Chains A and B, each alone.
Chain A
Amino acid sequence: MANDVFTFLVGGKAGEGVKKAGSVAAHIFSRMGRHVFEMDDYMSLIRGGHNFSVISTSTRWVSSHYMHANLLVNFDKRSCETHINDIAENGILVYNSDEQERNEGIGIPLTSEAEKYPMKRLMYGVGAVAILSSAIGFKKNEMNAIIKQEYPRGIEDNVKFADTIYDLMNDQCNNKFPIEKGDKERKIITGNESISLGSLAGGLDVYYGYPMTPASTILHYLASLAENFGIAVVHAESELAVINMALGSSFSGAKSVVGTSGGGFALMTEGFSLAGMTEAPVLVVFSQRPGPATGVPTYTEQGDLSFALTAGHGDFLRIVASPGTIEEAYYLASELLELVWKFQTPGILLTEKHLSESSMTVEIDVEKARWAESKMHQTDSYKRYLDTDDGISPLIFPPSKEVIKWNSYEHDQEGITTEKADIIAMMHDKRNKKLSSLLKYLRTKNTVNIIRGKYPLNIFTYGSTYMSVLEALKYGDFKPSIIQPIYLSPLPVWELEEFKDQNNIVVEQSVTGQFSNLLKEKAGLEIKKTIKQYNGRPFDPINLFNQIKEASK
């Protein structure tokens, strides 16, 4: 366990308020001015099973949860058994003494105390908050204020129940983990909220989605904000409808964004290709979970990188980029919306369950968002697919006196279907010119995050795994260089040139090492070792540090 990090783990059955207790704990820490990272682990079911939330907090920026917790609260036996090896040195396991007898840990009779109230087991979460409050030396009145605010249903019962549990805990372990206050209170948001807000900042007018974990919460969050921001949010009949509706909306001049995971994106590839041909600006948020097929819906992986890079039939320009942190997700969402409108081609914000659904304290410079705009038609005699030096044809939207034709068939400059050899080749060339224009533009942008280290060793990583790597190296106080390409298509090879023959290690969450292969093929990097994890779980910083240390020998 990192000495400067305190970790709280709460586990139990779905429906017992585990996730809520986790989020309340995170808010207690953030109100103390501390940094927080929360990871929710849940199964694809509605009631029962085993869910848990892990919250790591520190007075410094913390970018991962730690699996070894200082304080564990388990509502049931299964949870205790699952987390028996997740207790940090000097950590405390709190168990439900109505369900089992144990020699170690602190037993609290959660069930018999909760049975006294009409909400029964729904109160376990309140109990967890009381246990945490006692353990960190939180005063009762401070605890009650939070419970009143966070658990508004049956406030009196909740406060009474919390009071009892707090006292029971105090008798056995009061103020065991006095944690110091941090510098200031920060907002806690999830990755999907950050992506949503970044999209809104970048100009999102319409959002289409079909529920699929781990992207669904973008649909939910934007639906809740729709009226406030004057946007349209539509839950359509399928991902096929989603991508084609989005494309229709782009034709009307609306900045459209869609969100999905691997299976849904597989259905979208047909429309993604249509966006390539019609030169439709559409942004897809693609949040990965373990595949193939239905895979493991509520867990994390990076196994769809190759799929994202080549999605859709035909030769066309695809922009793919992946945020390394929840904060970066805000900026990148707006920047990708800007790029797809600037270059009139589809783009993908590639992420993972670990970023989408984890939450952390953030400080976002809201003003730093980009704004989507496009080259607009100014003069007379409009041609939708006018051949220009940079390959970008000016846009204009209906209603207009000009006739605007977007065409799925190969077409001439007016957008009329063609089968003529010279025009087919000319239009391929025209669209392909956009790649050179994009490369020229990206060379002026920050496309790779590089943290220069003290050792002749480079760690390459991307997406949410970047957060795991940062925390692992902070834990180990080990300082190799860390290189995180934000852009994956086109890959900014110009930024990677200097590392070609150096001592390079890749960290990623794919069994075949897709990211490692990309770096070898596109950037010609020599890779000494690829550290992979593909069990659906994000890396634990301590475990990852040990693997990096081992690989660096």
Chain B
Amino acid sequence: MSDPSLKTEAEITWCKGCGNFGIFTAVRNAIEQLDIKHKSRQNFVITAGIGCHAKIFDYLNISGVYSLHGRDTATAQGIKIANPELKVITFSGDGNGLGEGLAHTLFAAKRNQDITMILHNNSVYALTTGQFSPLTEMGWEGPSTPGGSIEGPFNAISLLIEAGATFVARCFAGKIDHLTETIKKAVEHEGFSFIEVLQPAVPYHRWSEYNEKVDFLEIEPESREKALKTAREVSRYTLGIFFQESKQVYHKALYGDHNPTTKRLSKNERLKKISQILEP
């Protein structure tokens, strides 16, 4: 089992049997294993949105910002831009990251921000009592759609590949080893890495619904076009890394090897430059 110091003393309030436990375990395993490899635990920073997924913020003993609903990806980008030494993981839900925060998610991918986004996909607004989400199949009978939801879901994988993410994978909270390995790869990937994690919310879904359907990609597609095609063709329960490529990351394009926080100019250096500007 993973290092106990990665857990806070906060009382865990996820439902018994919630898929979030699997994600929590895999994240701790991944951080511990990466720490052994890189001695980098102090460099990990997390952000979370609002929803059941986000409770992980209180449970994981890692620095970070418990952000607003949908804004965690923007917060994460701000952390990274200010200090690129930090390894930023943002936890999001399907409503959080693809509803309220859709623009921030797509733009983080478009910019190839060097952060990792773990999207807990329970296909429902769980904490707010079971409304349909951006990833819910059509026909969902929730409190806001008593006659069944009339909108189809996004395909998160093809959407993120199209937007510009350079590492895109789907995992399952019930396959902890696969999830752990994928998180490690995602964090080590330089660029925007996105993992959709299928995560049963037990008041609304049964584990058996997932266990029956999940399968793995036979081969990892070798180009963006093939990855898009595969993402559209395979079932929404197919796991694996759909796409990865190497591309310049945002902060390096912005300021190269600079670091605006640790390499900031002193007050005197600044005042000298300002005096020059203000010479008539």
Contacts and interface: CB of A to CB of B under 8 A. Distances in A.
Interface of A: 30, 185-187, 189, 197, 200-201, 203, 205-206, 208, 226-232, 234, 236-238, 240-241, 244-254, 256, 270-271, 274, 278, 362, 364, 366-367, 369, 371, 397-409, 411, 414-417
B18 interface: no
B78 A230 contact: no
Interface stretch (B135-143, B149-157, B166-174, B272-280): B272-280
A191 B85 CA distance: 35
Interface string B19-63: 000000000000000000000001101010010000101100111
B238 interface: no
A30 B271 contact: no
4 shortest A-B CB distances, which residue pairs? A248-B78, A245-B78, A254-B82, A252-B82
A238 B103 CA distance: 9
A253 B251 CA distance: 17
Contacts of B280: 30, 185-187
Interface residues of B, number: 53
B255 A244 contact: no
Nearest to A230: B265
B79 A230 contact: no
Interface stretch (B91-99, B121-129, B194-202, B256-264): B256-264
Contacts of B264: 203, 205, 230, 254
Query: A197, A251, A254, A256: which has the most chain B beta carbons within 10 Å?
Result: A251
Given A271-B71, A407-B66, A408-B67, A252 B86 contact: yes
A366 B47 contact: no
B219 interface: no
B267 interface: yes
A197 B278 contact: yes
A249 B79 contact: yes
B10 A248 contact: no
Given A205-B264, A230-B258, A398 B67 contact: no
B68 A246 contact: no
Given A248-B65, A251-B65, A405-B63, A399 B271 contact: no
Contacts of A241: 74, 77, 103-104, 107
B26 to A, nearest CB: 20
16 contacts: A189-B278, A201-B274, A206-B81, A208-B78, A230-B264, A232-B82, A244-B71, A244-B74, A249-B79, A252-B261, A253-B82, A254-B264, A270-B68, A403-B62, A409-B66, A416-B8
A397 B259 CA distance: 14
Nearest to B255: A232
B68 A398 contact: no
